[in-house]
Amino acid sequence: MKYTTLPNTNIKVSKICLGSMTWGNQNTEAEGHAQLDYALDQGVNFIDTAELYPVPATAEMSGRTSKIIGAWLQKTSHRDKVVLASKIAGPGDYTAHIRKTGFSPNAIKEAIDLELKRLQTDYIDLYQLHWPERDTNRFGVRDYKYDDNWKDNFNEILHSLDNAIKEGKIRNIGVSNENSWGTMRYLEESKKHDLPKVITIQNAYSMLTRTFETDLAEVALRENVGLLAYSPMAFGVLSGKYIKGNAADNARLKLFPRFARYSGEQAADATRRYLEIAENHGLTLAQMSLAFVNQQPFITSTIIGATNLEQLKENIDSIHVELSYEVLEQVDKVHQEIPNPAS
């Protein structure tokens, strides 16, 4: 395994982070525990969850993923061996079953306290805002529409998170599904008012979604805010199993076809071309896709997810793959001709 540190801290994390959002829905508790055991054995010490997991989010299953992780921590006594990241759900119809109060001080306090209970731990190493409270571009939305009903509360949010840090409940903070303006506003408030600094941003990043490179990459590198890349395999599309027609019946897009962000014609065309590049260089598409993300200079860790141990093994092994200049050049050529087909 390769390691780095969470920006502005001395917390060592693996460059591969174990995602968990299928546990409790597509995966049983026993399967989640088996993944945790295997990943830890391979040197993965970074685990990411969220209060709304598993996905798709429902009132019946909300928080089940974190409970599975908590049961594993209780059973194994491995809390000191792992770095835990979790998130408070943003507002919207999708999360109305959790709360309708956004990132108010009481909401943040409640969310942290409930998550600590589910995880059966006293502290969370990295606590993230799952998506912005204001309406803005996220989850592949391209066209920005101005929302004049939103009231600026960056300072209030940072003060609430600062209180949780002082109480010892969380150690560091991050954002997710955020854009450049939002990230810089948090950084500005933290500098101006001596409040906790956002140290990570968890956004989608893959060969099919490289919008992070347009301006957020500069923010990340100049402000030392590390990217935790989620969906590096584009919901499994970049394994090649869908265009090859050999996806299992329990594959994510077969079970939940409404998650169609990576399923358009342009994305399929780009994926076919990426598959050809991988095969011409003796790689699997999954290996090439993950290695591409792992090698980016703004990456702190790549969040992988799997529904079985065979997938998990291949994904973790990608850390040992180093893409040549020739491969990267060919990937960039496809990107120039079909830029961000799933942005």
List pLDDT tens digits, range 198-248.
Answer: 999 999 999 999 999 999 999 999 999 999 999 999 989 999 877 777 666
Return phi, psi of residue 231, to 5°: 55, 45
Positions marked catalytic:
53
User: For residue 204, which of 165, 240, 233 has the smallest C-alpha distance?
Assistant: 233
Tokens, residue 286: 């999954």
> Residues 189, 157: contact at Cβ < 8 Å?
no
pLDDT at residue 162, rounded to an integer: 98
**Average pLDDT score over residue span 137-161:** 85
In this predicted structure, the answer to whether residue 143 has a pLDDT above a threshold of 80 is no
The answer to whether 87 and 133 have CB atoms below 8 angstroms apart is no
Does pLDDT of 274 surpass 60?
yes
Lookup result for tokens 């300072």: 155
pLDDT greater than 60 at residue 165: yes
Q: Tell me what the mean pLDDT of segment 263-279 comes to.
A: 94
Residue ranges of alpha helices (H) inside the chain are 29-41, 64-76, 105-119, 154-166, 180-193, 216-223, 241-244, 252-255, 265-280, 285-294, 309-317, 325-337
CA–CA gap between residue 158 and residue 189 (Å, rounded): 8
Long-range contacts of 194-198 (CB under 8 A, 24+ apart): 195/155, 195/158, 195/159, 195/161, 195/162, 196/158, 196/161, 196/162, 196/165, 196/172, 197/8, 197/173, 198/173, 198/174, 198/225
For residue 302, which phi and psi values (nearest 5 degrees)? Answer: -105, 120
Q: How confident is the model at residue 150 (pLDDT cuts 50, 70, 90)?
A: confident
Average pLDDT of every residue of the chain: 93
* pLDDT surpasses 80 at 287: yes
The rounded distance, in Å, linking the Cα atoms of 97 and 80 is: 33
pLDDT at 255: 55
HSE-CB of 179 using CA atoms within 13 angstroms = 16
- For the domain covering 3-234+296-321, report its CATH number: 3.20.20.100
Taking the mean position of all CA atoms in its chain, how far away is CA 139?
A: 12
Residue 71: closest CA among 79, 59, 80, 83: 79
Tens digits of residue pLDDT in 86-118: 999 999 888 999 999 999 999 999 999 999 999
Neighbours of 75 (CB within 10 A): 11
Cβ–Cβ contacts within 10 Å for residue 211, how many? Answer: 19
